[in-house]
């Protein structure tokens, strides 16, 4: 039985119950599959006099230790400079904040592997820790490192590349992310392990969900309302489709900085009778909407992987994603889902109209999507593949 130390600054806490939920789900399955796991989630230090801000108050109120679903998590504090200023030094500052706690954990729970989630800041802090512990270091890249931090400045890029060169193994959650690295030495130690879901969590036994049944076709998207999610593309596509299908509905779940702009776009295109903004909803409600929609469409062009797509696929819904993004690992166009060109409203219109005109075929494609998810894209499969990496590294240690 292996002792695994997981370090992730993305992890559920009293301040945010869904932040890094994908890391938590993996940890739960690692434990189920026989690993012993301790989790360290570094939290920015906030002086108590800043308690007047709700955001800072939430950070202050995070306990030093908690147990979530049987998983023990510790929340040490570290100095973080707000707004990503001097991000290239954040890993060193995190290291200073957690090194004493890591030493205490190792004395009580001698860990065999350090598994860091993100290269900067967590991987950098873990790399510094590992100079002392000299055990296998695994770094998982979820998207932010390569899609944002790598491009922020040269110093950030150097920090990421240093972490990847020192790590014993690197996991990316999609081939898209793997293909962003050109260094052959680093490429040789990258394994792609996609994120997953727990299908058993998606069984809907509540028949009194108060969600209105509709005979009209419902298009659904679920995301933060930010530019890169492509919600505006869905709305523009709808302005064309509505001429042929005037009763079609588009439900938008989520909130964010683009909320006002998207509502204005709906108003400008006279789509107020067709578009419904539902705001942020609990996960249980999101799944209910997924089970009742006709099409799930998220033409996002900056997705490391995108669990929300496989959540929709698990409901047997025809799902539309974007070529060249992480979901391309899962979806084969017109076999188990649909792929469109990025930023291409015309292609989106064509695809949605194809589904509407071939609903029986589209439903069969949706069912194939469900089979794909259940067979390959579960947290159990993810954990098994991750444990294979642990075993290989420990065998060659």
Encode pLDDT of 3-22 as tens digits: 999 999 999 999 888 899 99
The Cα 45–Cα 58 span in angstroms is 11
Q: How many helices (H) and strands (E) does the chain have?
A: 16, 16
The Cα 183–Cα 131 span in angstroms is 23
Kindly tell me the sign of the dihedral angle through the C-alpha atoms of 121, 127, 128, 133: positive
Summarize the confidence of residues 362-390 as an average pLDDT: 97
Q: At 258, list the tokens.
A: 């683009």
The pLDDT value given to residue 211: 60
The pLDDT value given to residue 56: 76
Mean pLDDT score of the chain, rounded to an integer?
94
Summarize the confidence of residues 76-80 as an average pLDDT: 96
The Cα 392–Cα 397 span in angstroms is 9
Of the candidates 10, 66, 6, the residue with the CA atom closest to the CA atom of residue 30: 6
3-state class (DSSP) for residue 265:
helix
Q: At 294, list the tokens.
A: 């006709």
The Cα 10–Cα 75 span in angstroms is 11
- Domains observed in the chain: 3-196+379-395 (3.40.50.2000), 200-376 (3.40.50.2000)
Residue percentage of the chain with pLDDT more than 90:
87
Q: At 138, list the tokens.
A: 């695994």
The Cα 233–Cα 342 span in angstroms is 10
Crossing angle of the two packed helices 154-166 and 124-133, in degrees rounded to 10: 40
The pLDDT value given to residue 205: 54
Alpha helices in 139-205 (DSSP H): 144, 150-152, 154-166, 175-178, 184-187
Question: What are 37's strand-pairing partners?
Answer: 4
The Cα 310–Cα 282 span in angstroms is 18
Burial (0-12, 13-18, 19+ Cβ within 10 Å), 143 = buried
- Whether the full predicted model's pTM is greater than 0.75, yes or no, is yes
């Amino acid at each position: 039985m292996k002792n695994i130390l997981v370090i992730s600054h993305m992890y559920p806490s009293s301040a945010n119950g869904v932040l890094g939920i994908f890391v938590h789900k993996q940890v739960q399955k690692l434990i189920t599959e026989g690993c012993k796991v301790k989790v360290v989630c570094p939290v920015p230090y906030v002086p108590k006099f800043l308690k007047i801000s709700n955001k800072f108050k939430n950070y202050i109120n995070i306990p030093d230790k908690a147990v979530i679903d049987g998983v023990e998590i510790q929340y040490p504090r570290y100095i973080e400079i707000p707004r990503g200023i001097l991000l290239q030094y954040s890993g060193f500052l995190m290291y200073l904040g957690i090194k004493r706690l890591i030493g205490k954990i190792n004395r009580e729970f001698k860990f065999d592997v350090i598994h860091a989630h993100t290269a900067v800041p967590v991987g950098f802090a873990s790399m510094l820790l590992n100079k002392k512990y000299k055990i296998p270091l695994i770094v998982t890249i979820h998207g932010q490192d390569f899609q944002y931090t790598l491009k922020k400045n040269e110093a950030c890029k150097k920090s990421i590349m240093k972490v990847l060169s020192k790590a014993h193994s690197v996991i990316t959650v999609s081939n898209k992310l793997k293909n962003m690295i050109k260094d052959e030495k680093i490429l040789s130690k990258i394994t792609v392990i996609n994120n997953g879901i727990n299908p058993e969590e998606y069984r809907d036994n509540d028949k009194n969900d108060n969600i209105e049944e509709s005979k009209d076709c419902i298009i659904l998207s679920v995301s933060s309302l930010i530019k890169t999610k492509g919600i505006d593309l869905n709305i523009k596509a709808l302005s064309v489709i509505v001429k042929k299908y005037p009763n079609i509905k588009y439900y938008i779940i989520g909130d964010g900085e683009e909320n006002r702009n998207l509502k204005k776009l709906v108003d400008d295109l006279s789509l107020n009778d067709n578009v419904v903004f539902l705001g942020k909803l609990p996960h249980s409600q999101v799944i209910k909407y997924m089970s009742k929609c006709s099409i799930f469409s998220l033409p996002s062009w900056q997705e490391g992987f995108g669990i929300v797509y496989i959540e929709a696929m698990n409901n047997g819904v025809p799902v539309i994603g974007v070529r060249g993004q992480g979901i391309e690992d899962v979806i084969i166009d017109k076999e188990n889902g649909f792929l469109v060109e990025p930023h291409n409203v015309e292609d989106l219109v064509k695809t949605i109209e194809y589904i509407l005109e071939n609903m029986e075929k589209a439903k069969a494609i949706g069912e194939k999507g469900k089979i794909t998810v259940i067979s390959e894209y579960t947290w159990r499969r993810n954990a098994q593949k991750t444990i294979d990496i642990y075993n290989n590294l420990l065998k060659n240690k």
